[in-house]
Amino acid sequence: QHELVESGGGSVQAGGSLMLSCVASGFKVSSACMSWFRQVPGKEREGIGYIDTDGKERYAAFVKGRFTISRDNAKNTVYLQMKDLNAEDTAVYYCARSVSPICSIFLSAVPTIRASDFGGWGQGTQVTVSS
């Protein structure tokens, strides 16, 4: 059974940093494209970025170098390092794994990071940024 568990969320002041973790079980994160999304009430889930099976990262335009996705294969964990946070970053953050078995090729050809290309969602972790 595949499972993803996010943690590391919390409250932080604007300009601060947080690192979120996503621990996977039932599969190896190194064999999947692993993504981070976020969602605020009333809005669609927004793709932040992903790391593919080759270790290459891709980010949405709004990230602007503030977020970094990494993984630790030994811990079977994916991370989202966030810096220079602002109030607009307040959301529930989720990790997910790719649906396509050829995700590195498939996702690179898709113009946006779409929730429909990922599955096995974790329960999410709340990030609140106060100004």
Q: How many CB atoms lie within 10 A of CB 2?
A: 11
The pLDDT confidence band at residue 19, using thresholds 50, 70 and 90, is very high
Per the CB < 8 A criterion, the answer to whether 80 and 20 are in contact is yes
Distance from C-alpha of 88 to C-alpha of 81, rounded to nearest angstrom: 16
Band (pLDDT 50/70/90 cuts) for residue 17 is: very high
Distance, CA of 41 to CA of 56 (rounded, Å): 31
pLDDT at 111 over 90: no
Percentage with pLDDT > 70 across the chain:
100
Instruction: Please answer whether residues 97 and 27 qualify as being in contact, where contact means their C-beta atoms are separated by less than 8 angstroms.
Output: yes
28 within 8 A of 80, measured Cβ to Cβ: no
